[in-house]
């Protein structure tokens, strides 16, 4: 079993390869659905997760978290759109 330093060193490349694969799958979709979930954490900080839902070529339902993080402004469509673009 690798130690935590080895695992931590490989996380960025795993994240990038996963992003590439998700982008490829989404590029082949005619339709997608986005959902958001928000909650207030400690010290009144607002957190949001944006998830995409779609069917792959074999009609299997897939869901992927696009982004999770803190938002310092009101949760408007524009703010959430910019939040998704950060992916």
Gyration radius (Cα) of the chain, Å: 16
Into how many domains does the chain fold?
1
Domain range for 55: 4-85
What's the confidence (pLDDT) of residue 22?
93
CA dist 26 and 57 (Å) reads 11
CB within 8 Å of 23: residues ≥ 6 apart: none
Asked if 67 and 81 count as a contact pair (C-beta separation under 8 A), the reply is no
* pTM for this entry: 0.75
pLDDT tens for 28-82 read: 999 999 998 988 887 778 888 989 999 988 999 999 998 898 888 777 888 877 8
User: Torsions phi, psi of 39, nearest 5?
Assistant: -155, 160
């Amino acid at each position: 079993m690798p130690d935590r330093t080895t695992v931590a060193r490989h996380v960025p490349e795993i994240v990038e390869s996963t992003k590439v694969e998700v982008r490829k799958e989404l590029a082949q979709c005619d339709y997608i659905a986005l959902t958001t979930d928000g909650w207030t954490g400690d010290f009144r900080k607002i957190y949001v997760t944006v998830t995409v839902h779609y069917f792959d070529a074999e009609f299997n339902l897939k869901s992927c978290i696009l982004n999770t993080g803190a938002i310092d402004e009101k949760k408007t469509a524009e703010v959430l759109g910019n939040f998704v673009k950060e992916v």
